Amino acid sequence: MGEGVDERIAELEEMARLCRIDIVKMTNAAGAGHPGGSLSAIDCMVALYGTTLRFDTNNPRWEDRDRFIMSKGHASPAMYAILHQIGILDEHDLMGFRTLGSVCQGHVDMNWTEGVDFSAGSLGMGLSFGLGCALSARMDSSERSIWVMLGDGETQEGQIWEAVMAANYHNVSNLRVIVDRNRIQNDDFMDVQMEIGDIGEKFASFGWDVREVDGHDMAALVKVFNWADSSNDSPVAIIANTTKGKGVSFMEDNPSFHGKAPNSQELVIALEELS
């Protein structure tokens, strides 16, 4: 049993490695995009899609699917890499990232891409959207869970806290948030720009059930997501401590790769490191 679990974790780690390759390749091809926050979030997303999230690749609009709301919509390469791995997008789609007519828009868009549940791009809106999905699921007596991926910089937006307050007030226990705590935002490190402090404590003070996890430890992520998915008492926030640019040495903890694509020389190095 333990061995089977270890094998599954190894499979997920391999899937994350392939996603990272997609992320650096598609941002390089586009000459633009946000690799740093995609690489920090990708392990969480692989753990989620690989274990607890209920979806049907043959019917991406299945009404009772779980929802995944990519609120930090600039990390679209991570979303597209996942959709590639689960068979909704192909290599050609990914290489069209950010070009005219491509299904891979600059920021994730539910009208352009099958498997995308939210049109993001403007920070601070996804948690409210997820709350609307969660309230609807409850009205419909549906078992579907709503997962929202937030950036830590994104929590500087006031609307996040409007939604945090309302989710607790409405007691939506089917809403689960992942905060990609990579400590870097567009211009610089958060503690230079606007440090928010203990995000988990803030969620907890609004009545949320909070867990902290190493956002690159696949086994720990699977465990905490399984726990969250069975939690029925209150909305859940998982603070995933991550490294921006994780997996590519020169991007790690480097604010300049928030919104800059690797050039061709950098791509070669990145692919070597990920091979």
Partner 1 sequence: MSSPSNGGASREGYGKALLRLAEDPRVVVLEADLGKSTKSCYFREQFPDRTISVGIAEQNMMLVAAGMASSGKIPFASTFAIFTERAFEQVRNGIARPGLPVHICGSHGGIHTGSDGSSAQSIEDLSVYRTIPKMTVIHPCDDVSAEELTVQLLGLEGPSYMRTARNKVPRMYDDESKLGLRIGAGSVLIEGNDVAIIACGVMVERAREAAFILSQEGIEGTVVDMHTIKPLDRELLARLSDQCGCFVSVEDHSIIGGLGGALSEWLSTNNPLPLEMVGVRDRFGESGESSDLMKEIGLTLEAICEAARNSVNRKNAA
Nearer to partner 1, 118 or 208 (CB): 118
Considering only 22, 43, 66, 117, the residue that binds partner 1 (CB under 8 A) is 117
Nearer to partner 1, 65 or 183 (CB): 65
Q: Segment near partner 1 (CB under 8 A), from 11-19, 29-37, 159-167, 235-243?
A: 159-167
> 238 and 179 in contact (C-beta within 8 Å)?
yes
Q: Segment near partner 1 (CB under 8 A), from 166-174, 192-200, 212-220, 256-264?
A: 166-174
Q: How buried is 77 (Cβ within 10 angstroms: 0-12 exposed, 13-18 middle, 19+ buried)?
A: buried
CB of 92 to partner 1, least distance (A): 25
Nearer to partner 1, 85 or 128 (CB): 128
Q: Quick check: 59 binds partner 1 (CB under 8 A)? A: no
Q: Quick check: 162 binds partner 1 (CB under 8 A)? A: yes
Q: Segment near partner 1 (CB under 8 A), from 44-52, 154-162, 189-197, 214-222?
A: 154-162
Q: How buried is 149 (Cβ within 10 angstroms: 0-12 exposed, 13-18 middle, 19+ buried)?
A: buried
Q: How buried is 271 (Cβ within 10 angstroms: 0-12 exposed, 13-18 middle, 19+ buried)?
A: middle
The structure tokens 């939210």 sit at 118
CB of 30 to partner 1, least distance (A): 21
Considering only 49, 68, 80, 129, the residue that binds partner 1 (CB under 8 A) is 129
- Alpha-carbon separation of residue 222 from 8, 52, 218 (angstroms): 10, 8, 6
> 18 and 164 in contact (C-beta within 8 Å)?
no
Considering only 51, 156, 159, 193, the residue that binds partner 1 (CB under 8 A) is 159
Q: Quick check: 207 binds partner 1 (CB under 8 A)? A: no
Size of the site for partner 1 (CB under 8 A): 32
Phi-psi region of 97 (alpha: psi -120 to 50; beta: other; left: phi over 0): beta
Q: Quick check: 132 binds partner 1 (CB under 8 A)? A: yes
Q: Quick check: 111 binds partner 1 (CB under 8 A)? A: yes
Separation between Cα atoms, residue 124 and residue 105, nearest integer Å = 19
Structure tokens at 266: 């950098």
Q: Segment near partner 1 (CB under 8 A), from 26-34, 82-90, 108-116, 243-251?
A: 108-116
Q: Quick check: 252 binds partner 1 (CB under 8 A)? A: no
Compute the Cα dihedral for 80, 81, 83, 89 and give only its sign. Answer: positive
Q: Quick check: 169 binds partner 1 (CB under 8 A)? A: yes
CB of 59 to partner 1, least distance (A): 15
Separation between Cα atoms, residue 26 and residue 11, nearest integer Å = 23
> 255 and 187 in contact (C-beta within 8 Å)?
yes
Q: Which residues bind partner 1 (CB under 8 A)?
A: 63, 109-111, 117-119, 121-122, 124-126, 128-137, 139-140, 158-159, 162-163, 165-166, 169-170
